[in-house]
Structure 1
Amino acid sequence: MNPVIVIAVISGLIVLLLITGAPVKPLRFVGQVAMKVMIGALFLFFLNAFGSQYGIHVPINLATSSISGILGIPGVVGLAVIQMWIV
């Protein structure tokens, strides 16, 4: 797809949201979920950085980041256990 078209569509959506006003609750929910996924990716990064000494490597993708972000530290431990004993 042409980058000019993509930029024009995104700009148009931003202008539309500025004119009409954004619904607050859905955007807040999407923002919270996105923040949790980013925190989960950070958890996995640290797990991979410190776990490389012990042979632990969990791939960082949307599914594993979501699991570790939503469940927190127990989710990271669960992913590490799955990686070590099941996979």
Structure 2
Amino acid sequence: MESDRDERDIIYEATYDAVWDVAKRLGYILALVVIALIALQGVVFAVAVADGIAIIIGILALAVMLTSLHRLGKVLNLY
């Protein structure tokens, strides 16, 4: 009777330890996945901001180019 109880306690403790170990590892993996997703979101946001800035700079460069061509046309009496 006593040995059955000891055996069940040992099995219970071993099962608990195994489940706890797996849960900890899954928690670590989940934490790493969340950190990776946050980092990826930051990269995507940075790329989007960089694209937005690049588009604005491109529009400004186009405006400067068109203004320069307009002035050049006036200087050369093209119109």
TM-score band w.r.t. shorter chain: 0.3 to 0.5
TM-score (norm 1): 0.36
Larger % of helix: which?
Answer: 2
Larger radius of gyration, structure 1 or 2?
2
Larger RCO, structure (CA 8 Å, separation 6 or more): 1
TM-score (norm 2): 0.39
